[in-house]
């Protein structure tokens, strides 16, 4: 079956093949060769991996099925960086990204990239953006892009290669201003994080002016609840695509096609596994587990079997688009989940699905305070700023929370208390980091 997915032709070129397609067997053979080279490289150049992989025989991995015999790399390894993971001298590094810990203390993670590492990401963005965008399009980028090598900067270069006009704007701090910008610029495509884009779309819808219309949207950088995607598609009359990536991956990881049936993975540069979060053993295709990846061609700071903490599953069977690239289902981020005892675990994904189904909600923050009884506090940013009926909004919020099974069970078993307030100061829109449930210790 032929494929219209532009990532296929790109992958075939990366594999050194003539033509615009490849066989799955050819990709797996390529991945094994690159994996062996990556293991040899880090053992030779990285003090950290020299120690971690010191016991690994030179013949390993003999096949991709032996990948499980290599140890994991973790976020704590990046925070310690002792011994260093870096494989090249600092003079060869063009971009350093510091990721602060999600807690109140602890060393940050630092990622190092060479010019070649970042060029690989630009290349992936070029072809990945051909799914939502095409030559001649005007593409509004609602990501920071001031610094060379930042995600917005990389997208600008990639879109120029595609033949599209990039309109870099930065983080949308004010939904009303950004909605006005969309009306002025009239882009064909908008790229941004899910929650800020929904806030912009909903503010634009209540302004009393003509509806904003774009052809397609690419969501990235955070989880996108199905209710959020559906609302965005309805408000803007657009097709919604999603991208999965993280800084540790080099930003680019995978993107869905027009079939919208999972992220097609950047398999020429990344080897993706899904493992049991507890045992670390591989799970069968279709089963949920933790996403683990290995960088295959990175030279500055390669990562071998890096545990992401993200939950997903590798989808069995072929995609309707005909691509042989593996697909991940929509990511359910584990970070920020809270335990409610026998009631189970509550993640932002469950709160997102319930609350973004409410038309009056532009954004929200959540804080959990353990104790007897525990408390879940919500701060709601309403659509339209101050022009909302707070009492009516909070009534619908409490009703939506009661419909979440874990919340209802925790109310019954633990006496979980719920508290919600409405924020009109715009502070929620100014957050740039990934959203999570904050945890406070009861005083």
Mean pLDDT along residues 165-172: 95
Listed in order, the ranges of the chain carrying CATH 3.30.300.30 are 338-440
DSSP 364-420: EEEEEE-SSS-EEEEEEEETTTT-S-HHHHHHHHHHHHHTSHHHHHHHHHH--EEEE
Mean pLDDT along residues 59-65: 83
What are 332-368's pLDDT values in tens digits? 766 558 989 888 899 888 999 999 999 999 999 999 9
What are 183-229's pLDDT values in tens digits? 999 999 999 999 999 999 999 888 878 889 999 999 998 889 999 99
Residue 103 pLDDT more than 80?
Answer: no
| pLDDT bracket for residue 100 (50, 70, 90) | confident
Residue 121 pLDDT more than 90?
Answer: yes
Report the length, in residues, of the chain.
443
Q: Yes or no: is domain 129-244 CATH 3.40.50.2300?
A: yes
Mean pLDDT along residues 43-50: 96
Listed in order, the ranges of the chain carrying CATH 3.40.50.2300 are 129-244
**CA-wise closest residue to 151 among 259, 253, 36:** 253
Q: How many angstroms separate the CA atoms of 155 and 189, rounded?
A: 13
pLDDT at position 41: 96
Mean pLDDT along residues 87-97: 96
What is the radius of gyration, based on Cα positions, of the chain?
A: 22
Does pTM surpass 0.85?
yes
Listed in order, the ranges of the chain carrying CATH 3.40.50.12780 are 6-118+257-333
Q: How many angstroms separate the CA atoms of 168 and 191, rounded?
A: 10
Which CATH superfamily hosts domain 338-440? ANL, C-terminal domain (3.30.300.30)
Residue 104 pLDDT more than 50?
Answer: no
Q: Yes or no: is domain 6-118+257-333 CATH 3.10.20.600?
A: no
Residue 179 pLDDT more than 60?
Answer: yes
Q: Which two tokens stand for residue 51?
A: 């120690």
Q: How many angstroms separate the CA atoms of 19 and 16, rounded?
A: 9
How big is the CA angle at 68 (ends 66 and 70), to the nearest 5 degrees? 95
Cα distances from 392 to residues 237, 389, 398, in angstroms, run 28, 5, 10
């Amino acid at each position: 079956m032929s494929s219209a997915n532009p990532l296929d032709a790109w992958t075939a070129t990366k594999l050194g093949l003539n033509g615009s397609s490849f066989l799955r067997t050819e990709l797996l053979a390529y991945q094994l060769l690159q994996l062996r080279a990556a293991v040899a490289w880090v053992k030779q150049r990285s003090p950290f991996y020299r120690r971690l992989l010191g016991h690994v025989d030179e013949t390993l991995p003999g096949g991709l099925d032996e990948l499980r015999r290599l140890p994991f790399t973790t976020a704590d390894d990046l925070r310690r960086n002792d011994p260093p993971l870096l494989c090249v001298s600092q003079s060869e590094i063009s971009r350093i990204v510091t990721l602060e810990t999600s807690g109140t203390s602890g060393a940050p993670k630092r990622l190092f990239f060479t010019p070649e590492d970042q060029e690989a990401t630009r290349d992936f963005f070029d072809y990945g953006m051909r799914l939502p965008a095409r030559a001649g399009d005007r593409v509004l980028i609602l990501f920071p892009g001031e610094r060379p090598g930042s995600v917005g900067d990389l997208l600008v270069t990639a879109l120029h290669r595609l033949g599209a006009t990039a309109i870099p704007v930065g983080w949308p701090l004010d939904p009303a201003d950004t909605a006005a910008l969309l009306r002025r610029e009239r882009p064909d495509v908008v790229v941004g994080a899910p929650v800020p884009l929904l806030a912009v779309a909903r503010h634009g819808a209540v302004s009393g002016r003509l509806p904003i219309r774009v052809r397609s949207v690419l969501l990235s950088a955070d989880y996108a609840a199905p209710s959020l995607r559906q609302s965005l598609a309805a408000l803007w009359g657009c097709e919604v695509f999603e991208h999965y990536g993280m800084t540790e991956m080099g930003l680019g990881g995978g993107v869905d096609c027009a079939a919208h049936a999972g992220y097609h993975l950047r398999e020429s540069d990344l080897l993706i596994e899904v493992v049991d979060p507890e045992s670390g053993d591989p799970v069968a295709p279709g089963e949920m587990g933790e996403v683990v990846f290995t960088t295959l061609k990175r030279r500055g700071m390669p990562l071998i079997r890096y545990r992401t903490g993200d939950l997903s599953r590798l989808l069995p069977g072929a995609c309707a688009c005909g691509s042989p690239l593996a697909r991940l289902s929509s990511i359910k981020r584990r970070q920020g989940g809270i335990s409610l005892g026998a009631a189970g675990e509550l993640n932002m994904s469950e709160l997102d699905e319930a609350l973004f189904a409410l038309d009056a909600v532009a954004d929200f923050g959540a804080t959990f305070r353990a104790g007897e009884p525990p408390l879940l506090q919500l701060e709601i940013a309403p659509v339209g700023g101050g022009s909302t009926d707070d009492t009516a909004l909070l009534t619908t919020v409490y009703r939506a929370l009661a419909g979440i099974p874990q919340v209802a069970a925790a109310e019954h078993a633990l006496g979980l208390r719920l508290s919600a307030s409405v924020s009109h100061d715009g502070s929620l829109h100014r957050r740039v980091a990934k959203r999570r449930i904050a945890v406070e210790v009861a005083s």
